[in-house]
Amino acid sequence: MNHIALKMLMGDTGKYIGIVMGLTFASLIMTQQPAIFVGLMSRSYSFISDVGLPDIWVMDAKVQFVDDIKPLQETELYRVRGISGVAWAMPMYKGLLKARLTDGTFQTCNVIGLDDATLIGGPPQMLEGTLEDLRRSDSVIVDIDGATDKLGKPSLLPGGKPTPLKLGDSLELNDRRAIVVGIAKVTRTFQSQPVVYTTYSRAKNYAPRERKLLSFVLVKAKPGQNPAELTRRIREATGLAAYTQAEFMELTYQYFMHNTGIPINFGISVLLGFIVGAAIAGQTFYNFTLENLRQFGVLKAMGTSNWVLLRMILLQAVLVGSIGYGLGVGLTALFGHAMRHTILAFKFPWQLLVFSGAGVSIICVFAALISIIKVIRLEPAIVFKG
Amino acid sequence: MTLAVHCKQLTKVYDTGGQKVTALNGIDLDISTGELMMLVGPSGCGKTTLISVIAGILDQDAGLCELFGENLLTMRSKDKLNFRARNIGFVFQAFNLLPSLNAAENVSIPLIINGTKRSVAERTAKTVLEQVGLGARWQSLPSQLSGGQQQRVAIARALVHNPRLIVCDEPTSALDHKTGNTVMALLKDVAMHKDRTLVIVTHDARIFNFADRMAEMDDGHIIKIQANTAPPPPHS
Amino acid sequence: MQIKHILPVLAAAGLVFAGYTVVNSNKPTPIAKAVTEPSTAPFKAFIAGAGIIEAQSQNIAIGTPLPGIVKAVAVKVGDPIQANSPLFYLDDRDTRANLAIKRADLAKAVADVSVAKATYTDAKALSDLAEAVTDRRAISAEELIKRRNAMLISKAKLESAAALVQQAEANVAEIETTLSRLVIRAPVAGVALQVNIRPGEFAQAGFLSTPLLVLGNLEQLHVRVDIDENDAWRFDKSSKAVAFLRGNRQFKVDLVLAYVEPYVVPKKSLTGDSNERVDTRVLQALYRFDREQMPIYVGQQMDVFIETTVTPNAPPEAAPPVAAQGATP
């Protein structure tokens, strides 16, 4: 009977494609929009995940998210270092500083100061130069996106593309000279500002004079140390906030969730996609069943049980659902692939596959359900009516 | 001769929007095995309702209807389905072939419903198609066949699982005279033998000759039952 | 192939591609490794601090008692220096000229003494002669007094001339002292750690932010460890301590406490930034270590870990229950 069900489904190519397209659209919009959303939200904490080495981030207790810098006294570094269970603790400066470009315009940059000796917290991937080059005087490492775009030398022609920064080019950070010794690839951040890496002590020279300049203390737990236990100990001993990497990402993520309109906007578009997809696919599938009602009636009259009919309809629903789902997520992946080098945020975690799979399943089950009710209620006697 | 169908005081009332329509009003009818019984009468007289009840796809409101000695009304629905699937073949006015299945697949459906493997069922279907003269067209879709051919496929479908009762609803009314005659001749030729009963609902007077007996109906009653004395028309 | 068969194939391909994208795009970003591995405390509970290497003698910033132009510098950076050996010379021409004058003054004073002595001898002879006359009439009383007084006056003059000689001698000695103060000598034996003065430069007397010359005894180095005042209560003089060289944690040395400076001082950031900011106060402990174990220079920074028996959130005395729970390692 399964064969017959499939033949029935695919017999009318137009309707078959219609249902599949509806489900494709639904699953496309249910993956593509959330993928952009997840991509955008993951950018909010991309800096934290880029600095992968430390387990724990220590900061001022009032810090709300990663870009909310409330500097600490430098001696806090040594207090944190003195807590048992801490394998090492390193300072990090993070701040927005103005870079002056050759044409006199200013560009705000995210300046990251790394521990002078170990350079812990450096960019994930070096495209040119090495991290050790930061030991040279006045040296900085610039991220590739910033180097090619915002920090590039402005074009002589108005509206032209800026000339990318090269190794050896100099920048002016707060009236101080900085020499580019490396180009790095970093994950884009929410604000997409250029990222400039340098050493901690040099960053302090670039930064405006303040009494406190230590943004974060990066902590590595000793092997076998329970991070939750250690963060609690750090909090109690220093009165600072200590988060594991995951907690800090979550904190930042939650801040953006609660303080920006992004989640609502995307939530609405995902919901709309779901509703539209469900409506189109459900409607088409239901119509399909209705038009085949006579055929189901014939089968029923010839002695097919409701249970077999139900299985046939479910099979049809599962098939169109799977095809629509596969096409939808495939198109989403294609979209992501095409956009991978652009500024567009796109992230496709496996949970999204599950999410859209569940969405398409719900649509299919719903469409199949109303069709099944119709078929089960069907009086086979209709087949005798001409 | 054993009794294939035994109806006693069969009554069926439709409830259409608060208005009660009595479709069958105390039908008494016996049909023997090996008999070709035609139910004739004006439209709305209850012929279709009667064969629906006989075929077990509609439950009567009162009276008795036995099929080969079994009372379908008291049967469990699963057994009833199985009984129907094994013992009854259907030929419809509108052919009711599944449009996306080719001839052989359409014919094999009753066998598949009865649990035969698809490959076996289709092989059997092809031999039956040969019997109805469509052996070469087994791959054709219903839309690629003429009306007469479609009805022949439908007959093959009604025959393929070797049922004891074949119920035909206006088998010729969608066909022209000549084709209708051919189809009826075929039906009588291929389908009729001593263990099989045919019940044909029709108002097509041109095929009355094929009947063994005719029951004339009107307004839910059987007005008269008469044996056909005229010789069957020659094969075309 | 018909479209109804292409679609499932496309769908399968789409699903595979989506799976590939999921796997591929969610690879964790590579993590930049530390350029050098950071040092880790070998203790369970410890105080961490930054240490700076200094000579045992501490680093002596040599000053000059007198301001002046530097004539010559006797030492180079890194030279071993004996105690009391000259370090640098200030310009002494002026002083030497002065010495010559004073010496001439002395010679004149000595000559004046001779004159006074001769005058006195003469006056004394005349007076003695007159005193020797027994006949008081042979010499008038007036003459006698005159001669006696002349003798007394010349005697006084002789004494005065002798005093002037002493004065001239003292003057010469003073200039000679000044002259010796223009040669700056090493107060202790050691090594010239820094020489910030060159011939021709003006050496200022008094406290200088950049010392003219830094002298230290390198035979034994000390590491001066800053302990945050918040951690100072946990510091135990008898506990073990280790130091790691910054930039290579393979270099590790055990420390022995030399002494603790009992006065808690404002912390200066050890980055060498010219405008240091005072942000907290630190207890400074000085530790000895074996120089052979580490290629180290004076002024270099180290990461120091001092073992302690108390963790920050478990005060030793009458620990409150909440804090005591927190102390579980």
Domain boundaries, chain B: 34-57+77-227
Q: Using alpha carbons only, what angle is made at residue B80 by residues B75 and B83, rounded to the nearest 5 degrees?
A: 125
More confident residue, B17 or A358: A358
Residue A217: both structure tokens together: 């203390």
Q: How sure is the predictor about B188, in pLDDT bands with cuts at 50, 70 and 90? A: confident
pLDDT tier at C160 (50, 70, 90 boundaries)? very high
Tokens of C258: 């030399």
Assigned token pair, A337: 């692939």
Report the complex ipTM.
0.85
- Has residue C323 got a pLDDT over 60? no
Q: Which two tokens stand for residue A7?
A: 């033949």
Chains that touch C (3 or more CB pairs under 8 A): A
Torsion angle of alpha carbons C38, C44, C46, C49, nearest 10°? 0
Q: How many CB atoms lie within 10 A of CB A120?
A: 25
Residue ranges of B 32-61 with Cβ closer than 8 A to chain A: 48-49, 51-52, 55, 57-58
Contacts of A294 (CB under 8 A, 6+ apart): A382, A383, B96
Residue A267 has pLDDT above 60, yes or no: yes
SS3 track for A83-138: CCCEEEEEEEEEEEEEEECCCCCEEEEEEEEECCCCCCCCCCEEEECCHHHHHCCC
**Chain A residues whose beta carbon lies within 8 Å of the beta carbon of residue B96:** 294-295, 298, 383
Q: What percent of chain B has pLDDT over 90?
A: 0
Regarding the domain with residue range B34-57+77-227, which homologous superfamily does it belong to in the CATH classification?
P-loop containing nucleotide triphosphate hydrolases (3.40.50.300)
In this model, does residue C317 exceed pLDDT 60?
no
Minimum CA–CA partner of B99 in chain A: A11
C-alpha to C-alpha distance for B5 and C128, rounded to whole angstroms: 197
CA distances from C9 to A371, B91, C16, C286 (A): 27, 38, 10, 76
Does A87 contact C at CB distance below 8 Å? yes
In the structure, what pLDDT confidence band is assigned to residue C316 with cuts at 50, 70 and 90? very low
pLDDT, position B232 = 60
Name the residue in chain A with its Cα closest to that of B89: A302
pLDDT of B68 strictly over 70: yes
The average pLDDT across A175-180 equals 86
Using N-to-C axis directions, what is the helix angle for A2-11 and A306-338, rounded to 10°?
50
> What does the DSSP 8-state code read for residue A226?
-
β-bridge pairing C221-228 and C46-55: antiparallel
A-chain CB neighbours of C4 within 8 Å are 10, 13, 16
Question: Residue C321: is its pLDDT beyond 60?
Answer: no
Of the partner residues B52, B84, B88, the one whose CB lies closest to the CB of residue A381: B52
Which of C35, C227, C248, C300 should one mutate to test binding to chain A, selecting the residue with the greatest count of A CBs within 10 A?
Answer: C35
CA A364, A367, A373, A379: dihedral to nearest 10 degrees? -110
Q: Which of A315, A276, A335 is nearest to A23 (CA)?
A: A276
φ and ψ at B228, to 5 degrees? -90, 120
Crossing angle (nearest 10°) for helices A306-338 and A13-44: 50
What does the DSSP assignment read for A211-222? Answer: S--B-EEEEEEP
Q: Nearest CA to CA, how far is C255 from chain A (Å)?
A: 17
- pLDDT for residue C1 is more than 60: no
pLDDT band at C118 (very low <50, low <70, confident <90, very high): very high
Instruction: Tell me which of A338-352, B30-44, B52-66, C265-279 is least confident.
Output: C265-279
* Facing A84 at nearest CB: one of C28, C38, C46: C46
In whole angstroms, give the CA distance from residue A383 to residue B94. Answer: 9
C50, exposed or middle or buried, with CB in 10 Å at 0-12, 13-18, 19+? Answer: buried
Q: Do B81 and A303 touch (CB under 8 A)?
A: yes
Are the C-beta atoms of A226 and A137 separated by less than 8 Å?
no
Note whether B120 contacts A: Cβ–Cβ < 8 A. no
Task: Count CA atoms within 13 Å of residue A61 on its CB side.
Answer: 8
Average pLDDT, chain C: 82
**A50 has pLDDT over 60:** yes
B227's enclosing H/E stretch is: strand B221-227
A62 by DSSP, 3-state: which? Answer: coil
A13, A292, A293, A384, best to mutate vs chain B, most B CBs in 10 Å: A384
Task: Say if the Cβ atoms of B84 and A379 lie within 8 Å.
Answer: no
Q: Tens digits of per-residue pLDDT, C169-209?
A: 999 999 999 999 999 999 888 888 888 888 999 988 888 88
Q: What is the DSSP string of B192-213?
A: --TT-EEEEE---GGGGGG-SE
Q: CA A71 to CA A216: how far, in whole Å? A: 8
What is the reported pLDDT for A271?
A: 83
Q: Inform me whether the pLDDT recorded for C32 exceeds 80.
A: no
pLDDT for residue C56 is more than 80: no
Q: Which of C5, C21, C276 to mutate to test the interface with A (most CBs of A within 10 A)?
A: C21
